[in-house]
Structure 1
Amino acid sequence: MELWTGLYLMGFLNMAFGSPEASYSIHLNKLSFEDAQNHCRPGGFLTNLTREAEIAAIQKAIWEKNNKTATSFWIGLKKNKGQCVHQTKPLKGFRWTASDSEYSHGFKWKEDPMGTCTDERCGLLWVEYSDSETKNIALGDASCKQKYPFICKRNFAVPCPSPSILGTHDIIIPQNDPYTRHIICSSGAKFTLKCSNNLVWNVEGDENSDVSQLCLQCESGYRRVASGNCVDINECELANPCKHTCQNTDGSYKCKCPYNEDSDVCGESTTPTTDLENNDVHPTYLDVNKNQPNPVSRNETAVEIEEQDGDVSNIVVPVIIALLIFVVLLVIVAAIVKGCLRRRTVKLAQKKAEAVALNGSNSMENGNENKHQSERDCKL
């Protein structure tokens, strides 16, 4: 038990007094002194300043942050209530929170801290910038409740646990950088993870990402972006699936049309040319050409029509009606033709009867004439 206690104490002292393996992270988000301390834990703490090499490393880290607007940072320097400010002491009565010491290394103060024995005061690191580096580092103080950027210190001897990621993936560990991981998902998506000061893995540039979901497929209507989060797919911009106006919704979309237009022809126009169900994509998937839908006139009242897969009755009913009209027309034409044929038959029968009657009359007249001729021949 005593052995483990000793090892832990040695590790903490190495962190506090500046091990050659210590690293420093600059945080530009403004927090109170207590919140800044909690943000650095458990893998680190608000930095102290113990050696020239450490001061140079901190200056370099501030410069590489590439933000010349932040000129004051919380560091692990504090005067508690009941302790007095002593202007003659190197640290003016303040102490390093990591080691509870007053080691000063000859630091200068930008201005003397406020003289008090009752108020709690916390230490700041003031910096100035030149064209190529930070310069003129000095100490300062402020109320611990005020909010400033802060500097965390961490020792590489404190390991970051292996990231827990669901789904099929590969992990690449860079050489000489135990706090970075490169993730390659089976879909081809790639992410870079960084281990934070509180020993939690996050996607680089996003301290609130959930790395466990990186290689899982997003829900329908969503896709994964560079931050590792699932975001809504804007179907209206990617494929313009509507004939008139397209309205993007959370996970889907709606088509709109003018008020007086037939709603049956106001829905989707064509099959989208982009795969809208591509949920697990490379982070660069956001860089696409946008096709904007035709807007509805401001003077027109739009009616929303829910997304449909297609109504078969919209095709069947008109076809049936057309067939019925065609059959009726055929019946009418047949009736007309039949009537015409019947009248023609009657007329032909009448003409035939008249012809027969006429032929009969002629035969009788010829018979009588022959009879009278015979009688005349006899008389002679």
Structure 2
Amino acid sequence: MPQAGRGSEPRWPAPRMAALLWALLLLVLEAGPGQQQACLPLCSEGRCLTVNWAGLDFDSAAVACRRRGGELLTLQAQSSHQLLAQLAPVLSGSFWMGLRLPAGSCSDPGEPLRGYRWTSSSANETFNSSWVQWAAGAAVCSPSCVALAQYQVWTERPCSDRPDGFLCRTMDSNACWEQEHFFNDPIRCDDAPCQQQCADAEGGVRCSCFHGYVPDSGDPHRCRLHCAQQSCPAVCAAGACRCADGFLLEGQQCVDIDECHMGQCDQSCLNTFGSFLCSCRRGFLLTGQVRCVAVAAGEVVTPADRDSTLRAASAPSGPFLWVWVGATVVLVAAVFLLRVYVVRRQKRRERSSDQQVSEELLK
């Protein structure tokens, strides 16, 4: 096969070139709109409520709450009512609460809670249920549990169902984040598998983070800045200061960005520490994470369409316009470079073919 001369250009295999171009594109796209977070904390007066997006049956949801130092939501304090009142207008989907029908009984619309009992032994028996709106339907029998649906509607469902998620009550503002992760790997801490703190354990290692950090959801070996309140001290080094996502640097303090005051959502908006939640009124569907589009009369909205989305923001910019412009530029450049590569390769083949013909004629 003829070899390229000194002046010829290096030959990159087509698969390698394509992989490089796609890597450049994905690098830009990663800076786009935030992904939905699996857990949202809301706190007031030392009490917190967490919204967990995970399709679990009732018993599994209760175990998940206890594992994080809490329990399925029971409305036993005024602060719990206030937190739920803030959340309900933007809560889309169906989420388990701490209400279960006693074994061997059936629901009774004439009773305050239709005969359901709070799963917490400390729940207030004098709970005022006058504001509760139950979904229409015939009486059901155990095993049945209660889920809170959109527009503050309480629904009776088999406890084996797997709704969109569950609501936990806790005293820990960091309950959404696992503080320690175990990795079952044949490595030790001497191999530096953890970014911050490491502890050898039987069969692997345990990685954890310093105060003010939480494990990164994308790679729990690593840690990221975290603030579970209105403001936190910035992390400064070598004259530069950093804040957690969704916080703005003011001096040496990181202050939560109120995305709702910035008009990030078309309709309903709930600001949280470092994030925000968008949702829509009846008759509208949330699309593109922040926009509400009218639903045609008679159109069926599936649970997958009702995607109230929690987003993280690292700066008070617009709807990430420049990120997508950059992504488009990279994509166009990738197509152009790939076309140039193909054309040049074709020309090299033509020159090689002409050279072989010339050599045959000289013979």
TM range (shorter): 0.3 to 0.5
TM-score, normalization: structure 1? 0.36
Higher helix share: 1
Higher strand share: 2
TM-score, normalization: structure 2? 0.38
User: Which structure has the larger Rg over C-alpha atoms?
Assistant: 1
